[in-house]
Amino acid sequence: NLTGKTALVTGSTSGIGLGIALKLAEAGADLILNGFGDASAALAEVGRHGRKVGHHGADVSDPAQIAELFAYAERDFGGVDILVNNAGIQHVAPVEEFPVERWDAIIAINLSSAFHTTRLALPGMRQRGWGRIINIASVHGLVGSEQKAAYVAAKHGLVGLTKVVALETATTPITCNAICPGWVLTPLVQQQIDERARESGDEQQARHDLLAEKQPSLDFVTPAQLGAMALFLCSEAGDQVRGAAWNMDGGWAAR
Residue 110 or residue 169: which is nearer to ligand NAD going by CB? 110
Of 156-185, which residues contact ligand NAD (CB under 6 A)?
A: 181, 183-184
Do 85 and 108 form a contact (C-beta atoms < 8 A)? no
Is residue 151 flagged as an active site residue? yes
Residue 187 or residue 201: which is nearer to ligand NAD going by CB? 187
Beta-carbon contacts of 15 under 8 Å, excluding residues fewer than 6 positions away, are: 184, 186, 187, 188, 223
Catalytically annotated residue among 70, 103, 151, 252: 151
Residue 72 or residue 130: which is nearer to ligand NAD going by CB? 72
174-181, strands of its sheet edge to edge: 53-56, 30-34, 6-9, 82-85, 131-136, 174-181, 245-248
CB 30 to ligand NAD: min, Å? 19
**Contact characters 121-150, ligand NAD, x per CB under 6 A:** ---------------x-x------------
**Contact characters 16-35, ligand NAD, x per CB under 6 A:** xx----------------xx
CB 75 to ligand NAD: min, Å? 20
DSSP string of 69-133? Answer: HHHHHHHHHS--SEEEE-------B-GGG--HHHHHHHHIIIIIHHHHHHHHHHHHHHHHT-EEE
Assess 73 for contact with ligand NAD (CB under 6 A): no
CA nearest to 53, candidates 96, 15, 8: 8
Residue 43 or residue 126: which is nearer to ligand NAD going by CB? 43
- Distance (Å, rounded) from C-alpha 47 to C-alpha 192? 31
**Contact characters 90-119, ligand NAD, x per CB under 6 A:** -------------------xx---------
# chain residues binding ligand NAD, by CB under 6 A: 30
Binds ligand NAD by CB under 6 A, chosen from 177, 186, 215, 247: 186
Look at strands 6-9 and 82-85 and give their pairing.
parallel
Known catalytic residues are 151
> What residues line the site for ligand NAD (CB under 6 A)?
10-17, 34-37, 59-61, 86-89, 109-110, 136, 138, 181, 183-184, 186-189
